[in-house]
Structure 1
């Protein structure tokens, strides 16, 4: 079980199965504690984080918050997709409930009234992006491998990822979303998913400095110039190939352009055609929306994917059976009609996620 504490009752170090909360000086520290699963998020972890962050927001003894991952593999590999797979097979509501709570956590992090520092070291994928890239101080390292790889498992970016990637320079976010590529720290900075580069070997020193020093000064002392971004170098062909709203045309341009576009073309061609088209539509529709509105749209789309075949099949092929040979339905982009895509965005009625100011204003 994941433990919970009242603000003043929190001891110097509180150890739970899945997440650690501790107060070090004026710093509240959250450590995701499932290193064997690269700290993949469970419902219990999300609920505990939501509660503790709400308490710390009103605690004058906590000046800033730090989130990091246990072990040496990464901050967070995303949500627990094996649990999602089992819930799909059981026809349960656990995944819908998990997403609703997770999206409330993402919204809280985005509006947090104190510096929220995320160590985006190692793997930071999917839900890991949701608990880091919405924060106010986002730190990457030479070990960072981040991204939204959902199309690989027949799903689409969520946790506010569609909004984040829609704001990336040019069409670089579209490229990242459709290919699901793992990106390094320099690319994360270019995309706008992070702010600062700090060598991984200095994170422990930075964490110690944050206990007593103002966040801005401590981070500035340890930050360094990042390497060059590959995505920034590729900006010309990315913008040329990914503009527009037609997935088939994007694929045609990538194949026609030649050179280093051949890899992304084949990567996208191997993804779920439905996921590719709905991800593209999601990125286009989210422009100009608030984070709350974006999360509501992602929830609407996500529940529709739970009802379809590709999300279940993608998890099976990649994580359960690990045969890496998903059988998508439909199998080609041409078979996914405009009506099919629009159906993913239709209102859910009573099942809608309502992220009103009343519900999300924990702080």
Structure 2
């Protein structure tokens, strides 16, 4: 049960009690604003009350001359944020409750505010980072992964699409990696999160408290100052190409991988796959705000459809892993039906 707590800062920093709901802790530490997502029992899943706490505080810190940087992290050691509160959204969508509109609208407004934040925004993605957790981190200037980081956008498996600005950052990853991650929900782990370009830096999990302390101890920090702190604690990694691409073992591995890829795509919602493909094609040429406007239209199309509810049932509720998609194949889904998902909502369109 949520309750109100009073947080007092260490003596070495200016004492400043801040009242906060326990699901999100909002602290001023030195010249840093620190956001802690505090629902460890549900892997720090993001809900609407949490969004409504984070957004105004972020805007306040952005305009506060005494706040130089913003740090966001997750409590509990297992997850930064494993996603949005999908079950609540599902029940709301079934009942016609406005939560199904409000959650996506306000979440995307927060995602845009993170992307536009004038202060260095630092996400410590130490642990599971999926869905809504990606939206809380990937649009910030600095994203720090560790060996515990597990990144994925698994939405096509539940009849949704990689939202929270996925249409913006995924097509900007090197090659077609973003499209692969979007369609398959493939999980990146540890150093691969930084190699892929999702994270900007990599730090061993045990060093993250030291990193955070150095950041909050900075005096009048600039983005360059923050970068220098990372340089002292971070490791940088790059893709290494195999020297044995032409070997028989490589060819067998490639054949096996393609087979697994086909099997993975066959389990996903055909509607989600087509929507996602078009989303990333369009998003590659759009700004983040324009992508979020597009994604809000898609979110409401999914709320009107049936695959989202069936996907949540199969994956999260009954857990039988056997969704009955409608339509059940890509061939049955017309281009016109997909196009309608991108149509304007008129007065209900997302605006910033």
So what's the TM-score if we normalise by structure 2?
Answer: 0.88
Aligned partner of 1:239 in structure 2 is: none
Residue 334 (structure 1) aligned with residue 328 (structure 2): no
Aligned with residue 288 of structure 1, among 285, 295, 304: 285
Residue 11 (structure 1) aligned with residue 8 (structure 2): no
Which residues of 2 match residues 92-107 of structure 1 at below 5 A?
Answer: 92-107=97-112
Cα-to-partner distance string for 1:224-269 (whole Å, 9 max, x where unaligned):
134x659x76xx9xxxxxxxxxxxxxxxxxxxx7231211111011
Aligned with residue 208 of structure 2, among 181, 203, 209: 203
Deviating more after overlay: 182-191 vs 103-112: 182-191
Aligned with residue 153 of structure 2, among 135, 148, 151: 148
Q: CA deviation at 1:304?
A: 0.3
Residue 324 (structure 1) aligned with residue 324 (structure 2): no
Aligned partner of 1:348 in structure 2 is: 345
Which residues of 2 match residues 202-221 of structure 1 at below 5 A?
Answer: 202-213=207-218, 214-221=225-232
Structure 2 gaps, min length 5: 7-13, 219-224, 246-253
| Distance in 2 separating the partners of 1:176 and 1:2 | 38
Count of equivalent residues: 328
SS of match in other structure, 2:45? coil
CA separation of 1:191 and 1:2: change in aligned 2, threshold 3 A: farther
Q: CA deviation at 1:279?
A: 0.5
CA contact (8 A) 2:89 2:103 kept: no
SS of match in other structure, 1:143? coil
Q: CA deviation at 1:12?
A: 4.2
Aligned partner of 1:277 in structure 2 is: 274
SS of match in other structure, 1:71? coil
Deviating more after overlay: 176-185 vs 300-309: 176-185
| Distance in 2 separating the partners of 1:127 and 1:105 | 11
CA contact (8 A) 2:167 2:284 kept: no
| Distance in 1 separating the partners of 2:3 and 2:98 | 20
Aligned partner of 1:81 in structure 2 is: 86
Aligned partner of 1:304 in structure 2 is: 301
| Distance in 2 separating the partners of 1:349 and 1:53 | 29
| Distance in 2 separating the partners of 1:97 and 1:192 | 31
| Distance in 2 separating the partners of 1:216 and 1:262 | 42
Cα-to-partner distance string for 1:200-241 (whole Å, 9 max, x where unaligned):
110011111111124222222110134x659x76xx9xxxxx
Cα-to-partner distance string for 1:144-181 (whole Å, 9 max, x where unaligned):
11121100111001110111101111111110000011
Aligned partner of 2:222 in structure 1 is: none
| Distance in 1 separating the partners of 2:315 and 2:100 | 19
| Distance in 1 separating the partners of 2:15 and 2:106 | 23
Aligned partner of 1:258 in structure 2 is: 255
Structure 1 gaps, min length 5: 237-256, 356-363
RMSD: 2.1
Aligned with residue 67 of structure 2, among 44, 62, 67: 62
Q: CA deviation at 1:14?
A: 4.3
| Distance in 1 separating the partners of 2:112 and 2:181 | 22
So what's the TM-score if we normalise by structure 1?
Answer: 0.86
Aligned with residue 117 of structure 2, among 112, 120, 126: 112
| Distance in 2 separating the partners of 1:114 and 1:281 | 33
| Distance in 1 separating the partners of 2:328 and 2:44 | 33
Deviating more after overlay: 206-215 vs 292-301: 206-215
Q: CA deviation at 1:13?
A: 5.4
